[in-house]
């Protein structure tokens, strides 16, 4: 970050001059708006992704993977000028930063605040990435969990709108992801859309998880979020500020990351209190299943694996399994199925089902491998159980990308019994490695895994229903011939963006009508 700052300082004056010069020679807002329309008819549609994380620069979960891989897939069609804005966190490694170009800086006003905003740019795979630099807000470890997250992402969202004249890019669709980007859609509606340059921008808001809504005290409305009187009703919900609710109200359209989840969030069981808002705005809602970067996740080419293999020839998957068992200190038994879970250890991932029946499952001829971190009671539970069943259970309470790929490839059955799962990427990744998923029929798990086609499913959130299906998979595993066919079907299911990116295209075009 020190490097960032000094570069920013030295170039500040020059950039300021350039900006002034640019201003004086540039057209008026009205002619710029016309130019924007012309640019549209000339060629590519302009899409701006606004998100709090993006692969490969900063990743804490599925959101980053989707923002990274969808933007790339859209750019690859040749029909879109796709740009992505994320904060410049200190967690973004020097190996990435070294490639960024400093574009300049401006000051962002938010209520009584006036904050520095540096802009860095990087172009990769046809996508232009912008990084918003402000050390006060983003020079901290991690992305979230600070007392002032509301202020940090309000600044970020405002900065996204403020940098548009600077980078000379007014998107036709501003695609905002999750509550951290909700205010970009809200500010567009309450303020910026009245300016000629911004009037053609349409906001799409995608919900990756409705559980995290960005709720704050109403006292902060003007002072922190710079929203006043007549707009209060847009963001107010149950006597609080609710940024996700605000974005749903303000956006042109909103979407979720699977069709099933789009249905589910109309129901109080899944909506974490927002179901009345979702139902009221149902006419603007679409569900589109996420894709994955199928080149990045490939049993044939993944360099992290002990050995590579193909869906046509799984021979080397046995090598992956044997080496994994060795690495984790489990007996190297080729015919004992390994059931794996790679997950955040939090309750909505269905861990209470697992903790209830895992000891019964461990009585069977199975090995279980867990990878992930999360709530301390789950971490403690699995660690202590691994102590009692050292030959059957390996609990790896870490987040480790390399090990995750070794587990995806080296195990046989992948368990994902989520209570709710907006989309879920792990079940798709497991399939790519020929590891057969057992999932609960919810959200994207329902949409991506079909019983006996590419996995096993159960309906009710019930530990014994789950155990019954796990046991069915374990018993089917013994039928080598049928199991090989199931592995093949799982590994060849198309989870690439080829289909879903088209659905986003259709949605964008519909919004622009
Ligand atoms: C969130 C959801 C997960 C989804 C991911 C990407 O992390 O919990 O289900 O796959 O976002 O959309």
Average pLDDT for the chain: 93
Is ligand 1 within 6 A of the CB of residue 428?
no
HEC per residue, 193-259: HHCHHHCCCEEEEEECCCCCCCEEEHHHCCCCCCCCHHHHHHHEECCEEEHHHHHHHHCCEEEECCH
User: 76: which 2 tokens?
Assistant: 């690859």
Is ligand 1 within 6 A of the CB of residue 63?
yes
Give the chain's length. 513
Which H or E run contains 359? helix 351-361
CB 171 within 8 A of CB 198: no
Q: Is 181 helix (H, G, I), strand (E, B) or coil?
A: helix
Is ligand 1 within 6 A of the CB of residue 422?
yes
Say how many C-beta atoms besides its own lie within 10 A of residue 304's C-beta: 12
User: For residue 206, what are the CA distances in angstroms to 143, 173, 177, 254, 461?
Assistant: 19, 12, 5, 6, 26
For the CA of 290, the nearest atom of ligand 1? 12
Measure the CA–CA gap between 8 and 5, rounded to whole angstroms. 5
Candidate of 49, 54, 63 to mutate for ligand 1, largest count of ligand atoms within 8 Å of Cβ: 63
Is ligand 1 within 6 A of the CB of residue 342?
no
For the CA of 61, the nearest atom of ligand 1? 7
Q: Quote the ligand 1 centre to 326 CA distance (angstroms).
A: 32
Measure the CA–CA gap between 355 and 378, rounded to whole angstroms. 8
Please tell me the predicted confidence (pLDDT) of residue 26: 44
CB-based contacts of 380: which residues, under 8 Å, 6+ apart?
none
Q: Is 500 helix (H, G, I), strand (E, B) or coil?
A: helix
Q: Quote the ligand 1 centre to 38 CA distance (angstroms).
A: 36
Q: How far is CA 172 from the centre of its chain?
A: 22
Measure the CA–CA gap between 220 and 134, rounded to whole angstroms. 21
Nearest partner of 192 among 134, 109, 281, judged by Cα? 109
**Cα dihedral sign, 133-179-68-72:** negative
Candidate of 344, 422, 449, 497 to mutate for ligand 1, largest count of ligand atoms within 8 Å of Cβ: 422
CB 175 within 8 A of CB 204: yes
Classify residue 503 by its DSSP letter: H
For the sheet containing 45-50, what is the strand order? Answer: 101-110, 113-124, 127-133, 80-87, 45-50, 173-177, 202-207, 253-256, 285-287
Please tell me the predicted confidence (pLDDT) of residue 42: 57
Q: How far is CA 252 from the centre of its chain?
A: 21
Question: How does strand 338-342 pair with strand 367-371?
Answer: parallel
Is ligand 1 within 6 A of the CB of residue 427?
no
Candidate of 419, 425, 444 to mutate for ligand 1, largest count of ligand atoms within 8 Å of Cβ: 425
Please tell me the predicted confidence (pLDDT) of residue 223: 95
Residue with tokens 């172009």: 123
**How deeply is 198 buried, as exposed, middle or buried, from its count of CB atoms within 10 A (0-12, 13-18, 19+)?**
buried
Is ligand 1 within 6 A of the CB of residue 208?
yes
Say how many C-beta atoms besides its own lie within 10 A of residue 147's C-beta: 7
Is ligand 1 within 6 A of the CB of residue 182?
no
User: 431: which 2 tokens?
Assistant: 């399939």
For the CA of 443, the nearest atom of ligand 1? 9
Please tell me the predicted confidence (pLDDT) of residue 43: 86
CB-based contacts of 218: which residues, under 8 Å, 6+ apart?
232, 236, 239, 240, 241
Say how many C-beta atoms besides its own lie within 10 A of residue 42's C-beta: 8
Please tell me the predicted confidence (pLDDT) of residue 22: 40
For the CA of 425, the nearest atom of ligand 1? 10
Is ligand 1 within 6 A of the CB of residue 291?
no
Low-confidence ranges of the chain (pLDDT < 70): 1-42
Q: Which pTM value belongs to this model?
A: 0.91
Nearest partner of 305 among 395, 445, 177, 409, judged by Cα? 409
Please tell me the predicted confidence (pLDDT) of residue 25: 38
Q: Whose CA is nearest to atom 5 of ligand 1?
A: 62
Q: Quote the ligand 1 centre to 170 CA distance (angstroms).
A: 28
Is ligand 1 within 6 A of the CB of residue 51?
no
């Amino acid at each position: 970050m020190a490097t960032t700052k000094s570069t920013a300082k030295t170039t500040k004056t020059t950039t300021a001059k350039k900006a002034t010069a640019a201003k004086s020679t540039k057209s008026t807002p009205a002619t710029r708006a016309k130019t924007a329309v012309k640019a549209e008819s000339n060629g590519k549609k302009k899409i701006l992704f606004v998100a709090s994380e993006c692969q490969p620069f900063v990743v804490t979960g599925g959101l980053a993977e989707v923002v990274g891989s969808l933007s790339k897939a859209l750019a690859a069609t040749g029909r879109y000028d796709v740009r992505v804005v994320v904060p410049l966190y200190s967690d973004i490694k020097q190996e990435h930063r070294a490639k960024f170009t400093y574009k300049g800086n401006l000051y962002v006003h938010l209520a009584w605040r006036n904050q520095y905003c540096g802009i860095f740019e990087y172009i990769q795979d046809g996508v232009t990435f912008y990084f918003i630099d402000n050390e006060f807000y983003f020079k901290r470890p991690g992305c979230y969990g600070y007392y002032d997250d509301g202020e940090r992402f309000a600044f970020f969202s405002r900065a996204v709108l403020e940098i548009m004249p600077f980078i000379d890019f007014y998107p036709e669709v501003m695609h905002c992801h999750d509550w951290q980007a909700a205010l970009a859609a809200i500010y567009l509606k309450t303020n910026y859309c009245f300016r000629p340059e911004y009037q053609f921008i349409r906001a799409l808001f995608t919900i990756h998880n409705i559980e995290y809504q960005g709720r704050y005290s109403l006292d902060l409305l003007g002072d922190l979020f710079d929203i006043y009187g007549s707009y209060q009703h847009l963001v107010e919900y149950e006597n609080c500020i609710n940024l996700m609710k605000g974005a749903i109200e303000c956006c042109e359209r909103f979407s979720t990351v699977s069709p099933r989840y789009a249905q589910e969030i109309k129901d109080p069981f899944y909506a974490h209190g927002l179901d009345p808002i979702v139902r009221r705005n149902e006419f603007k809602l679409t569900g589109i299943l996420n894709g994955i970067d199928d080149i990045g996740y490939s049993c044939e080419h993944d360099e992290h694996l002990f050995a590579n293999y193909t869906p046509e020839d799984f021979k080397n998957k046995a090598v992956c399994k044997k080496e994994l068992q060795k690495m984790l200190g489990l007996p190297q038994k080729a015919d004992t199925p390994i059931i794996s879970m790679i997950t955040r250890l939090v309750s909505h991932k269905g861990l209470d089902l697992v903790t209830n029946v895992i000891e019964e499952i461990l009585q069977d001829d199975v090995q279980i491998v867990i990878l992930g971190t999360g709530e301390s009671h789950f971490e403690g539970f699995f660690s202590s159980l691994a102590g009692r069943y050292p030959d059957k259970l390996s609990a790896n309470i870490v987040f480790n990308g390399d090990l995750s790929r070794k587990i995806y490839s080296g195990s046989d059955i992948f368990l994902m019994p989520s209570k709710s799962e907006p989309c879920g990427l792990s079940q798709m990744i497991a399939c790519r490695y020929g590891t057969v998923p057992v999932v609960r029929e919810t959200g994207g798990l329902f949409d991506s895994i079909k019983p006996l086609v590419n996995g096993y499913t159960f309906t009710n959130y019930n530990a014994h229903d789950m155990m019954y299906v796990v046991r069915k998979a374990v018993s089917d595993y013994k039928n080598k011939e049928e199991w090989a066919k199931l592995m093949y079907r799982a590994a060849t299911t198309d989870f690439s963006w080829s289909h879903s990116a088209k659905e986003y295209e259709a949605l964008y075009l519909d919004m622009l009508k």
